[in-house]
Amino acid sequence: MSEIRVRIPPSPTGLLHVGTVRTALYNYLFAKKHKGKIVFRFEDTDKERSKKEYEEDILSGLKNLGLSYDEGVFYQSKRTEIYKKYLEVLLEEGKAYKCFCTKEELEKKREEQIKNKLPPRHECCCCDNQDRKGDFVVRFKVSKNKDIIFDDLVRGKVKISSNEIADFVIAKSMTEPLYNYCVVVDDYEMKISHIIRGEDGISNTPKQIMIYEAFNWNIPQFAHLPLILNQDKSKLSKRKNRVSVDAFLEDGILPDALLNFLALLGWNTSDEKEIFTLDELIQEFDLKNVHKGGAVFDEKKLLWINGLYIRNKSTEELKKLVIPYLKKANIDYMKHGEDFFTKALKSTQERMKKLSEAPELLAFFFKEDLDYPVDFFEHEKMGVTQDVAKKALKEAINAISNLEEITQETTEEVLVAKIKELGWKNGQLLWPIRVALSGEKFSPGVFELLEIFGRNESLKRINKGLEILA
Ligand code: GLU
C-alpha cells in the first residue's frame, strides 16, 4: 500500500464538538496504526460563520486530548489562488461552466418544473452561452446516465446514478469556491489516501468523486462513520446533550477517559473490551470493526469510564487535578495539613466519578461546625432510632478516648468488640458514628474517617452529634 495519509478538516464554526473529536480520533488511530501521516486544515470558506476563537478552541482542545497532527495547519481561506487555478482548468475543458442565470430566471424555471410535476432541479443553457456578461456562479457539469460507485470501508458498496444529481455550484465566483470543490482540490493536493468522516458527509461523496474524475485524479478511499445519537436516537444535538469538549473537561472528565469513551462510539473489538489506553487503541483499531448503525452518546457510560480512570490515578496525581475545583469552591483544603488532605482525598477516590464532584465529596472534612438534620441518624432498616444513635455515640466516645492510637485497625477492633458485647447489629453502632463524623448520609467508611480525623476532631464531631440529638 502507498503511504497512508488522512486529514482532520474541521470547520471553525463552533466550539470543539465531541463528534469532531470522535472523527479526528479515528483518523488519528488509523494513521498511527499504519504509520501514516495526518494533515490538519481548517475549512473556513464560510466567512460569516468561521471565527478565530473557534479555531483556537479546536486546536487547544485537540492538543489537550493528545491528538496531534503531522502537517498543517492549512486554511482554505488562504488557498483561493490554488482553487482558482483549478477552476480555470475545469472551465477550459468544459467540465464546468459559468452560469449567469439570475434569481428570477431560476425561480421561473422552478415554478415551471413544479407545474409540470417534474422534480425541481437546476437546468439551464448557460453552458452554450459562456460569453454572456454579468455575475455568474461556476457549475459543475454532471454527465448523464452514469453510475457513481464507491466501496466505502464501513458501509460497503455505494451506488448512485448521476441522473439524481443536477449540475451543482462549485464556486460563487472565481474567488469564492465552495465546500465540495475545495475539499477535493485539498485532498488531492495534500495527497490524502483515506477520507474518514461522519456519515453526514456521504451525500457529498458522489459529487466529490465526479470532480476527481473530471481532473483524472486518483480517488481516495472513503470510510463514513456512524452518526452519534442522543439517548432518544435523534441526531446528537446541543439542545439535548452537552457537546462541547470544553464543557466535559471543565466538568472534570479526564482527557484519556473522554477519548476512551469516544473510541467506543461506533467501534469495538470482538472481545468487547472497554478500557483502552491510547496506545492500545492504536494497536487494536480497525476500520473493519466500525459499526454501520448510529452510536448512542451515553453520559452514564462516560461517567463510569471516567470513574475508573480517576480510581487508577495515584492520589498525588489526583490531588493536582482536584485542587482547582476545591479552590473555586473556597474549600480550605490545607487547613489540617497536607497529610490530612491526602488521606481525605484518598478516602473519596473510589466514589468520585468526575473531578467537579470533589468539593461536594470533600467539603465535610474541612467544615468547622457541622450542621445537619437530626433524622440523618435514623435508619429504619438497620434498626437505628435516635435513642440508639445517642447510645452509640456515647459508646464511641468511651472507646475512642481509651485508645492509645487511632487507626483504622485499632478503631475497628474496639468497635467490633463493642457491637458483640451489646448484641447489636453493625449498623446500629457504626451508622450514627459515621453520620456524626461526616454530617452526610453517604461518606467514606467509619474506621477510615476516624483515622483521618484523629482523636480530637473525632471526639469534637461526635459530641456535636450528641448536641444535635439532644
Ligand atoms: N469540514 C467538514 C466538517 O467540519 C469536514 C467534512 C469532510 O471531512 O470532508 O464537517
Residue 42's H or E segment, with its range, is strand 37-42
DSSP per residue, 294-349: -EE--HHHHHHHHHHHHHHS-HHHHHHHHHHHHHHTT--TTTT-HHHHHHHHHHHH
pTM score of the predicted model = 0.92
Residue 300 banded pLDDT, cuts 50, 70, 90? very high
Residue with cell 477510615: 448
- Per residue in 268-294, pLDDT (tens digit) is 998 889 999 999 999 999 999 999 999
Q: Is the pLDDT of residue 238 over 80?
A: no
Shortest-distance atom of ligand 1 to CA 43: 1
Shortest-distance atom of ligand 1 to CA 200: 10
- Residue 261 near residue 65 (C-beta atoms within 8 A): no
C-alpha 22 chain-centroid distance: 7
Strands 168-171 and 71-75, bridge-based pairing: unpaired
- Residue 45 near residue 286 (C-beta atoms within 8 A): no
d(CA 462, CA 457): 9
Shortest-distance atom of ligand 1 to CA 204: 9
Of the candidate ranges 102-111, 121-130, 349-358, the one whose mean pLDDT is the lowest: 121-130
* 63 is an active site residue: no
Decide whether any atom of ligand 1 lies within 6 Å of the 220 Cβ: no
Q: Is the pLDDT of residue 410 over 80?
A: yes
Minimal CA–CA distance to 416: which of 439, 377, 445?
445
Q: Is the pLDDT of residue 1 over 70?
A: no
C-alpha cell at 294: 448510529
Decide whether any atom of ligand 1 lies within 6 Å of the 183 Cβ: yes
- Residue 217 near residue 27 (C-beta atoms within 8 A): no
Minimal CA–CA distance to 31: which of 262, 259, 198, 193?
193
Residue of 5, 43, 236 best suited for mutating to test ligand 1, as the one with most atoms within 8 Å of CB: 43
Hey, is 187 helix, strand or coil?
Answer: helix
DSSP per residue, 79-98: -HHHHHHHHHHHHHTTSEEE
